[in-house]
Amino acid sequence: MHPLSRRKAMQTVGLAALAPALGAVAAPHAMAAVPVPGALPRGVAWHNWSGCSGGQAASLQTPADVAAVQQLLRSSSGPVRCVGAGHSFSALVPTEGSIVSLDRLAGLIGHDKVAATATFHAGTRLAQLSRQLDQVGLALRNLPDIDAQSFAGAISTATHGTGANLPALHDDVQSLQWVRPNGELLECSKTRQADMFAALKVSLGSLGILTQATSTVLPAYNLKRKVWLKPVEELLQMTPELARQHRHFEFYYLPFTGYAAAITHDLHAGSDVLRPDSADEEMLRDLRHLRDWLGRFPDLRRWVAQKLIDPAQTELAQDRSWKLLSTQRPTKFNESECHVPRELGVDCVREVIRTLELRNDVFFPMEFRFVKGDDAWLSPFYQQDSCSIAVHAAAGEAYDYLVSDIAPVFRKFNGRPHWGKLHGHTAADLPALYPRWKDFLQVRAELDPTGRMLNPHLRSLFGIPARA
């Protein structure tokens, strides 16, 4: 979720005024890893960022360079799964074999300002990449709202930001270097093995291990941000126009308040920095307190929230693009997200809100974003401009309803799931949603006939039986 949106909402809403009366900060829950049935009795314990996915792996490998990645794959035949920052909520990582981290394959390798490209190690986290690009006067075109992810992990799951005319990160990739499951080092690009490239860009770590990427970049740029609150129905009426008018537009609906926090980012020619203090965490706490104290009385909860909200306030910020678009997330959560055809986005989000508010325990803001279509075979945005709708639940609280209750709504609106987030889609659903699904499975089978890059979650998604 966007940090500033929550923060903005908080400050703008004026809910902060309630905070002192409602008690002090509650510490985020630290969740234990979920054991994997049949996991090895010994090995390395691993769990994802939120704690909803995890298990025991035989080992955690951190190869130092490309040769070490090749050696790792050549010298063994067991299952291998890569991990980035562990920010995926779906069970993409857990394996009884080796987990491979590309932490040591990190950093900018080079850049070409004339060609507007930069080449970097695939394990580079987005935060470090943004800093290093900035130091040479460059920037990524767009960013997701969390920047802890490794670049390889981000593109492999089709991680995205917001912007009606801005595609997900993987669409800016010009070429990739990767090690296929047998240890062979390969490269492909938009012009060299184009089909392989279209399959590889979003491949959930199932085709091998990405080691290097070259991406389109822009000259470093500044953004100005505006955040304001609107009754959600009024904002929904304005949403298509706001998405057209602004480089980035998104909103967060604040459950059981009737209000949404709208956020725009646009290019800013000046270099003056304006950074109000973040109040995201305070806003979340206040929404949680409203839920805790008035959750049984949704009408009263909504009425109190509306009395506390001051829609006249707005918040402005100006800074480097990467400092405004992304941040860290102190409060952990679980999340489900789906991408629906753009023309269905507003209708879908109305139904998501209605469904969410059937549960009085919901308090986490719901996020609505825009993403431009692309050509990666497993991209949820494949040949489809989309609206992304994300629902969240605080870590440590029930989250199964994010799928059981909301997935039917996403399904009704032809939504394609975010691969890294919780979803209810199965192997039976996916071929109809992804026109190149079978082509991808064929490439996967050719590159990895034994399925060593798969784990139970991927086998289930791809409809491939478990190893004997």
Q: Is 148 in the site for another protein (CB under 8 A)?
A: yes
Structure tokens that stand for 233 in this block: 């129905």
Contact pattern for another protein over residues 49 through 88, marking x by CB under 8 A: x----------x-x--------------------x-xx--
Q: Is 161 in the site for another protein (CB under 8 A)?
A: no
339/421 with CB nearer another protein: 421
Q: Which position among 98, 128, 222, 384 is part of the footprint of another protein (CB under 8 A)? A: 128
45/194 with CB nearer another protein: 45
302/342 with CB nearer another protein: 302
Q: Is 131 in the site for another protein (CB under 8 A)?
A: yes
78/330 with CB nearer another protein: 330
The C-alpha atoms of residue 225 and residue 278 are separated, in whole angstroms, by 13
Helix (H) or strand (E) holding 445: helix 437-447
Q: Is 18 in the site for another protein (CB under 8 A)?
A: yes
Q: C-alpha angle 89/90/94, rounded to 5°?
A: 105
The C-alpha atoms of residue 230 and residue 44 are separated, in whole angstroms, by 48
- Cα–Cα distance list, 339 to 163, 433, 444 (Å): 14, 11, 24
Minimum CB separation of residue 231 from another protein in Å reads 19
156/384 with CB nearer another protein: 156
Minimum CB separation of residue 305 from another protein in Å reads 12
Q: What are the phi and psi torsion angles at 200 (to 5°)?
A: -75, -35
List Cβ<8 Å contacts ≥24 apart for 79-82: 79/452, 79/453, 79/454, 79/455, 79/467, 80/181, 80/209, 80/452, 80/453, 81/57, 81/205, 81/453, 81/455, 82/152, 82/153, 82/156, 82/205, 82/209, 82/210
Q: Is 272 in the site for another protein (CB under 8 A)?
A: no
Give the count of residues interacting with another protein (CB under 8 A).
48
Q: Which among 97, 113, 115 is positioned nearest to 44, based on CA atoms?
A: 97
Q: What are the phi and psi torsion angles at 404 (to 5°)?
A: -65, -35
Q: Is 34 in the site for another protein (CB under 8 A)?
A: no
Q: Which among 140, 152, 148, 284 is positioned nearest to 215, based on CA atoms?
A: 140
Q: Is 35 in the site for another protein (CB under 8 A)?
A: no
Q: Which position among 58, 136, 300, 346 is part of the footprint of another protein (CB under 8 A)? A: 300
Q: C-alpha angle 193/199/201, rounded to 5°?
A: 95
1/387 with CB nearer another protein: 1
Query: In this structure, what DSSP letter does residue 402 have?
Result: H
Q: Please report where in the chains the tokens 């500044």 appear, as a residue.
A: 222
**Residues between 301 and 320 that touch another protein (CB under 8 A):** 304, 307
Helix (H) or strand (E) holding 139: strand 138-139
Select the span of 45-53, 211-219, 366-374, 404-412 touching another protein (CB under 8 A): 45-53
Q: Is 30 in the site for another protein (CB under 8 A)?
A: yes
Select the span of 155-163, 227-235, 254-262, 324-332 touching another protein (CB under 8 A): 324-332
Binding site for another protein (CB under 8 A): 3, 7, 18, 20-28, 30, 46-47, 49, 60, 62, 83, 85-86, 101, 103-104, 106-107, 124-125, 127-128, 131, 147-148, 277-278, 280-281, 292-293, 300, 304, 307, 327-332
